[in-house]
Structure 1
Amino acid sequence: MSILIVDDNEANLFVIEKLLNRAGYADHLSFTSANDLFAYLDSDNPYIVAEQVDVILMDIMMPEVDGIEACRRLQEMPHLKDIPVVFVTALEDTAKVVEALDAGGTDYLMKPIKKTELLARLRVALRLKYEKDWHKKQEEKITNELELSMQVQTSLLSEPVYNDNLLIKASYLPAFKLAGDLYYWRQIDEHKFAAIQLDMMGYGISSSLVCMFISSVLRDAIRTNPDPEYVISELNKWMTSLNHYNQKIPYYFTAIYLTIDTAERKIEYINAGHPTAHAMIDGHEIAELKSNTCAVGFFPEIHTDKKTIHYTSSLQLLICTDGVHEAIDKYEQAGTEYLRHLVTNPFPCTKETEPLDLVLTPEQKESGADDMCIILIQAT
């Protein structure tokens, strides 16, 4: 623990030093000006020095840079702004004291200095510093854990597919570090892939954890049987089981799950309460993959109604979460109609381009308050 004392009057410094020494506060440094204080704080290792300072006792009336201006400067420096500043002053001007506190001061002490009052103010300032340091460490810990969780969640997302007759690529823009959107695909055999886009209810840590749980269930279900009716039923069973043990916040998600077979040139899908997806078939026909059952996890039993889309020469499919629709609607465009029109144009999607960039403007991406995810599938 270190206490810094700033006063242009050396007699005042002597008095405060003696009082601190007698009270057991031996680790302190004195400065006769604010400039000397900043020279010390801006040393070769300013962040290390700042961590060692617990309280600053500072006079208000000083030449060149007074205590109030010095306090303002401290507040402008992120590594110094949390150090409590207790003003020591002989001024009886209430307006000046208020100005000092408004500048960022924690407390004030009137001269002549009384030992009991000095130590009481000091104890309050030290408690405040301890609490700020504790909260800062907790925030750093949470930030690090969120960063690790984000990396784990991102690792669950699938890599793009660039085959001769099939492209599957996704863009993902979470509203927060952790999100409730998920996409995944898996190759079943030489000609067949299974793919899903889902949007978990809610935001943040809880939704992302449920997402990661469902991701594990999804992988097992696809390995067992990739048929849409089986996979959606399995996901619903596990979501219902999760909600059975979690009575406070029932979770559910919307999703489009599909299989695409490039040999038989068909898609089989189930849309469980998800926004309508749009497909351009053979360059001239638009197909809508509308919701044909409820969201997954709503009810113990889910009625599945698998649909099939056939294509002859080409297919372009665009699947979006509701965050994309909301971002489009903010700019007075009807999301569904806009995407329906957009899918009629062949997307020049390469390894360098992102589907999200082909659909949304930079302003729309920045304005989004929800997670945004787009899957683009092109088959020939």
Structure 2
Amino acid sequence: MTIAIVDDNATNLLIIEKILHKAGYDDLFKASSAMELFEELDMDAESSAEVPVDLILMDLMMPEIDGVEACRRIQEKERFRDIPIIFVTALGDSNKLAEALDAGAIDYVMKPINKVELLARIRSALRLKYEKDWHNERNKRIRYELDLAKQVQRSVLCAPIANESVKIGALYLPSTELAGDFYAWYPLGHGRYGIILLDMMGHGISSSLVCMYIYSALQDTINRMSDPVQVMKELNLRMMQLHMSDQLMNYYFTAIYMVLDTNARTIDYVNAGHPAGIVYADGETVLLTEGCCAIGFFEDIEIVKGSISYEQSAKIMLYTDGLLEMMEGNVEDGVQQLISELKHMEEAELAQLPQAIQEELSNNRQPDDICLVMIQAY
């Protein structure tokens, strides 16, 4: 632990040094001016560089650069903002002392120095420094774990599919490090694909963990039963297993799951309380509205399966409500805009945000996760 003592008076430096030595503080740095302190701190070093002092005791009135200005310059550097600064001064001007505290100092001691008071204030400042360092280290560990969780979450998202019968892609824009939106698709054989888009309640760590829990069940569930009604019942059962009687809030998600059969040219689906997906096929538009309530609300749910046939080709857009929230007007206006975008969207534009949404995102903060899944069946 290093304490810096800054005073243009050599006698004051010696007095404070002796008080600190007798109290057991042996790692001291003495400076007769703010510039000497700046050199010791290496003010222009990288933000990740080690901070060489843990506490600064500084005179308020010094030539060239006074204590207030020195304090301001130190506080301007992000890596020094957690260093406690205590002014040691003979100046009793309350306005000047208030200015010093506003500049970033945490306390002051009046001259002539009272040894007991000085040591008590140093102990208090170092306790505060310890607490800040502990929280900073904890936040650093949390940031590392969040980055790792983010990488894991992104790694399980499905890669695009493009072949002679189907093209599937997605756009994924989390509003925070970890998202509550999730998508997946699985080839089921014989030209059939199981495709799901879900939106977990909330976003952040807890929602992303529940998303990963559902992901762990998805591949086995979809490959084992594939039928949209059975898949939704199984996922609802998995969500109910998370419920505990002492919880104030239980998690749920909305979703659309579909089985696209490119040989039979059919789409079987269930919409579980999710914004209606859009199908544009053979010159007609169909909204995917058949289904049930959100998954995870009730143990027993009634599910209605929807079915669509097409003759030539079909374009399908699935999206989460974060997309509609970024659009002007009400929900109905947003859906109509998406229908218009889908009708005129070229194959090369699949899985791209509508231009209006791109402009909105460039000008405003994204309030919710946005996920867009686009499917072209030939």
Return the TM-score normalized by structure 2. 0.95
Write out per-residue CA displacement over residues 199-257 of structure 1, whole angstroms, 9 at most, x where no aligned residue.
00112111111111011111220121111011001001111121246632211110000
Give the corresponding residue for 1:227.
227
SS in structure 2 at match of 1:112: coil
Are the aligned partners of 2:40 and 2:52 in contact in 1 as well (CA < 8 Å)?
no
Pair 1:59–1:217, CA change in 2 (3 A): same
> Judging changes above 3 Å, is the alpha-carbon distance between structure 1 residues 207 and 241 closer, same or farther for their aligned structure 2 residues?
same
Partner residue of 1:371 out of 369, 372, 375: 369
Residue 286 of structure 2 aligns to a residue whose secondary structure is strand
Measured at CA, do residues 44 and 87 of structure 1 come closer, stay the same or move farther in structure 2, by a change above 3 Å? Answer: closer
Q: Secondary structure at the match of 1:11?
A: helix
Alpha-carbon distance change, 300 to 217 in structure 1, aligned in 2, over 3 angstroms = same
- Find the aligned partners of 2:332 and 2:220 in 1 and give their Cα distance: 40
Question: Residues 157 and 184 of structure 1 are in contact (CA less than 8 Å); yes or no, is this contact kept in structure 2?
Answer: yes
Answer whether contact 1:275 1:291 (CA < 8 A) is retained. no
Q: Distance in 1 between matches of 2:342 and 2:28?
A: 70
Name the structure 1 match of 2:336: 337
CA-CA distance at 1:264 after TM superposition = 0.6
In 2: Cα distance, 1:358 partner to 1:218 partner: 33
Q: Structure 1 unaligned segments of length 5 or more: list them.
A: none
How do 1:45-56 and structure 2 match up within 5 A?
A: 50-56=50-56
Q: 1:69 to 1:292 in 2, by over 3 A?
A: same
* Secondary structure at 1:259 match in 2: strand
CA distance in 1, matches of 2:75, 2:263: 67
1:142 match: 142
**Aligned residue number for residue 303 of structure 1:** 302
Change (3 A) 1:357 1:98: same
Change (3 A) 1:77 1:289: same
Q: 1:84–1:105: 8 Å Cα contact kept in structure 2?
A: yes
Q: Deviations over 1:333-358 (max 9, x none)?
A: 821111122211133336xx742255
CA contact (8 A) 1:5 1:56 kept: yes
Cross-structure match for 1:362: 359
Identity %: 47
Q: Which residue of 2 aligns with 1:128?
A: 128
Q: Distance in 2 between matches of 1:334 and 1:128?
A: 54
Kept in 2, the 8 Å contact 1:270–1:291? The answer is: yes
| Structure 1 Cα separation of the partners of residues 355 and 161 of structure 2 | 18
Q: 1:359 to 1:154 in 2, by over 3 A?
A: farther
- Using the alignment, how far apart are the partners of 1:166 and 1:245 within structure 2? 45
Q: For 1:359 and 1:172, how far apart are their aligned partners in 2?
A: 17
In the other structure, the counterpart of 2:239 is 239
SS across alignment from 1:355: coil
Q: Confirm whether residue 186 of structure 1 aligns to residue 186 of structure 2.
A: yes
**4+ residue segments displaced more than 4 Å:** 43-50, 330-333
* 2:291 matches 1:292: yes
Superposition TM-score, scaled by structure 1 size: 0.95
Q: Residue 145 of structure 1: CA displacement? A: 0.7
Alignment check: 8 A CA contact 2:228 2:305 kept:
yes
- Residue type of the partner of 1:375? V
Q: 1:43 to 1:86 in 2, by over 3 A?
A: closer
Superposed counterparts of 1:15-34, under 5 Å: 15-34=15-34
Deviation at 1:46, TM superposition (A): 6.3
Match of 1:316 in 2: 315
Classify the secondary structure of the residue corresponding to 2:347.
coil
Q: Which whole-Å CA distance do the structure 2 matches of 1:101 and 1:330 have between them?
A: 49
| TM-aligned CA distance change 1:48 to 1:230, over 3 Å | closer
- Aligned residue for 1:79? 79
Q: Deviations over 1:182-215 (max 9, x none)?
A: 0000111141110000000112111111111011
> CA 1:46 to 1:186, structure 2 compared with 1: closer, same or farther past 3 Å?
closer
Q: CA deviation at 1:44?
A: 8.9
Q: Which residue identity lines up with residue 97 of structure 1 in the other structure?
A: L
Counterpart-to-counterpart distance in 2, 1:349 and 1:40: 58
The offset of 1:64, in angstroms, is: 1.1
Deviation of the 1:49 alpha carbon: 6.8
Counterpart secondary structure, 2:144? helix
SS in 2 for 1:68: helix
In angstroms, what is the RMSD of aligned CA positions? 1.9
Structure 2 spans left out of the alignment, 5+ residues: none
Tell me, what secondary structure is at the counterpart of 1:195? Answer: strand
Instruction: List aligned pairs for 1:162-241, cutoff 5 A.
Output: 162-241=162-241
SS at match of 1:157: coil
2:272 aligned partner, one-letter code = A
